[in-house]
Structure 1
Amino acid sequence: MFEDLRDLYQEVIFDHNRNPRNFRIMEEANRRVDGFNPLCGDKLTLFLKIGDDRVIQDASFQGSGCAISTASVSLMTEIIKGLTEDEAEALFKQFHEMTTGKTEDINLEAIGKLAVLAGVREYPARVKCATLAWHTLDAALKNEREAVSTE
């Protein structure tokens, strides 16, 4: 399984890095959080529009970073649209466990396209690149306004 994921990993990373989805400032966002990875220099601002029903209606980002960081936030903004805040929080926890190697059991159905990022667990310095967007999402879901740092 991981051999196939490795090939797909490279393809997805390159695609989302070259053509990031939801790369824009969202004027109507009601949540906005900055994230920074000092180790790699990745910087992003995450924008969310969350409805009264606690459903993520829209997600976008601005910033710059390495290919893994850009691909991770691009994938994340695609996947979380339409999720409730609780569902997005649960996805954050699953993604974090997968990328940090805290679990070997990856529920591919639950994690979906994000499974391609499972390979970063083999490169500890890159885990922070992949998880920056997710820690920023976690702060946004908790309506925190302070910038997030991976350090």
Structure 2
Amino acid sequence: MIDESLRELYQEVILDHSKHPRHFGPLDHATHNADGLNPLCGDRITVHLNLDAEGRIADIAFEGKGCAISQASASLMTDMLKGRSTAEAEKLMNGFLHLVKGEEGVTGLADDDLEILLVMAGVSAFPMRVKCATLAWHTMKSALEGSGAPAKSE
């Protein structure tokens, strides 16, 4: 259970990321792109990635419109993934999905990464908002896979 002062801090972080998103905008010379849509509320996200020769995310950006949760999640995601390998990105995504769905068993994440991801853990109390929080992450995965099909949050 998250105590009240920690919950307030997490809400401040979410509001800051939604009002001042990091890595927001187009990305010149992106090597991978994907569009995502949450049909339940209309949130839209486009993720742009630039992978280097070693398969690391050299740069990442997002564009779109949506609620504070979807925008904050995309901003947090881009902050966390820049400079990471695709394997690290997948590991962070899996940990994030477990957290926002309120599932047990988030393992294998560095303490610093887990601390950042915990900001969004409170979303699990609002099942309709989980799709908002996961949209950017599913879209990033689609971009990495180069599927071309629009991503949908689950």
User: Is 2:127 the counterpart of 1:124?
Assistant: yes
Runs of at least 5 residues in structure 2 that lack an aligned partner in the other structure = none
Q: How does 1:20-99 map to 2 (within 5 A)?
A: 20-99=21-100
Q: Which amino acid aligns with 2:71?
A: T
Runs of at least 5 residues in structure 1 that lack an aligned partner in the other structure = none
Q: 1:9-67 CA deviation, whole Å, 9 max, x = no partner?
A: 21011101111111110121000000000112100100000011010000001110000
Does the C-alpha gap of structure 1 residues 104 and 85 become closer, same or farther in structure 2, counting only changes over 3 Å?
Answer: closer
SS state at 1:113 partner: helix
Identity %: 45
User: Is 2:2 the counterpart of 1:2?
Assistant: yes
Contact 1:5 1:116 in 2 (8 A): no
> How high is the TM-score relative to the length of structure 2?
0.91
SS state at 1:2 partner: coil
Structure 2 residue aligned with 1:111: 114
Contact 1:16 1:75 in 2 (8 A): yes
SS state at 1:49 partner: strand
Structure 1 residue runs of 4 or more that deviate by more than 4 Å after TM superposition: 104-108
Q: Which amino acid aligns with 2:16?
A: D
SS state at 1:9 partner: helix
Does the C-alpha gap of structure 1 residues 83 and 105 become closer, same or farther in structure 2, counting only changes over 3 Å?
Answer: closer
Contact 1:36 1:42 in 2 (8 A): yes
Shift of 1:104: 6.2
Q: 1:92-130 CA deviation, whole Å, 9 max, x = no partner?
A: 000001111121657643423121100000000000000
Contact 2:95 2:106 in 1 (8 A): no
Contact 1:22 1:78 in 2 (8 A): yes
Contact 1:31 1:47 in 2 (8 A): yes
Contact 2:37 2:150 in 1 (8 A): yes
